[in-house]
Amino acid sequence: MIINMFKIQMKDFDLEKISKSGQCFRMNKAVGEDNRYTLIAYGNYLEIEHTEDSIFFSCTQEEWDELWVNYFDCGRDYEKICETVDKEDKYMKRAVEYGSGIRILRQEIFEIIISFIISQQNNIPRIKKCVESLCESFGEERYNFRGERYYAFPTAKRLAGVTLEELQNCNLGYRSRYILKTARMIVENEVNLAGLMDMSYEEAKVELMKLSGVGVKVAECICLFGLYHVEAFPIDTHIQAVLSENYPEGFPFDRYEGYAGILQQYAFYYDIYGKV
């Protein structure tokens, strides 16, 4: 059915959880297919099918090596990370078990910046709608291997050139102003995206907060999902509730130095979906 299926075996890889974990907004379950997902990233369209013992990707080995192996963070051992959780930490033990299969994707920086500006005071289904609307309106039109049309995420240059009225058609609410200003700042090189890659987490965070609509929380999300600083630990309303309920003495950041953000992702997922 799918042309150029590339097959791998990988543990800790659950598309359902990754797609619902609120880190990416363009990965979706294929309609009517339980184990198949579609994804648009870095301008490419990908289908993924999960069978009992293998995962199939609609790409060549070359494309896999060049892009997707890195995108799915295949070089990291998530099991090992989960094993470092304190046995006495019942909450985090449950969270990593419940969220087993979650990975942190290495996504495109500009897409992450805009997506997480949209995410403020917003919920995941609506964020997805907004992002998709933005892509349909301003993203480059392309065709997948099935001959179906899809849209790449808009470039900064394209967004910087639109009017506020045009943006508002995407139902972004008050975030339209932020997005337009941020896109323009990036095009004007007031914040240099390539430069961000070479900065430390703390430096990148400060730099990102120059952008309109980017405060502490959004900057930390961008660092975690767009720059792959897995030490970034964004605290939103969910995580805030988790911390005050389960870590009244404070979260053990020292124990998880350098990768606390990955545990944050498990906790976030568990808090949203794990409650009975």
DSSP label at 108? -
Q: How far is residue 121 CA from its own chain's centroid?
A: 17
List the x/- string, 3-22, binding to DNA by CB under 7 A.
Answer: ------------------xx
186, 204 Cβ separation under 8 angstroms: no
The nearest distance, CB 234 to DNA, in angstroms, is: 4
> Does 50 participate in binding DNA (rule CB under 7 A)?
no
With binding defined as CB under 7 A, does residue 171 bind DNA?
yes
Nearest distance from residue 169's CB to DNA, in Å?
9
- Binding footprint of DNA, residue count (CB under 7 A): 38
Selected catalytic residue, list 20, 93, 181, 217: 217
Identify the residue among 168, 184, 191, 243 touching DNA (CB under 7 A): 168
CB of 63 to DNA, least distance (A): 26
Under the binding rule (CB under 7 A), the answer on residue 218 touching DNA is yes
143, 174, 253, 273: which one binds DNA (CB under 7 A): 174
79 exposure class (CB count in 10 Å sphere: 0-12, 13-18, 19+): exposed
The number of residues making up the chain comes to 276
Per CB under 7 A, the segment of 1-9, 141-149, 195-203, 213-221 that binds DNA is 213-221
Give the pair of three-digit tokens for residue 157: 């240059």
Examine the residue annotation and report whether 217 is marked as an active-site residue of this protein.
Answer: yes
What is the closest distance, in whole angstroms, from the C-beta atom of residue 118 to DNA in the complex? 10
Q: Where are the alpha helices (DSSP H) in the chain?
A: 15-20, 61-63, 69-71, 78-83, 90-98, 109-118, 124-138, 156-160, 164-168, 175-187, 193-197, 201-208, 216-226, 237-246, 260-273
Tell me the CB-side half-sphere exposure of residue 137, using CA atoms within 13 A: 18
Residues within window 77-136 making contact with DNA, judged by CB under 7 A = 119-126, 129
Pairwise CA distance, residues 184 & 189, whole Å: 8
**Between residues 70 and 122, which has the closer beta carbon with respect to DNA?**
122
Closest separation in Å from C-beta 180 to DNA: 12
Indicate whether 179 belongs to the interface with DNA (CB under 7 A).
Answer: no
The rounded distance, in Å, linking the Cα atoms of 199 and 136 is 32
Residues serving a catalytic function are 217
- The site for DNA (CB under 7 A) is made up of 21-23, 119-126, 129, 168, 171-175, 177-178, 209, 211-219, 221, 234, 236-239, 264, 268
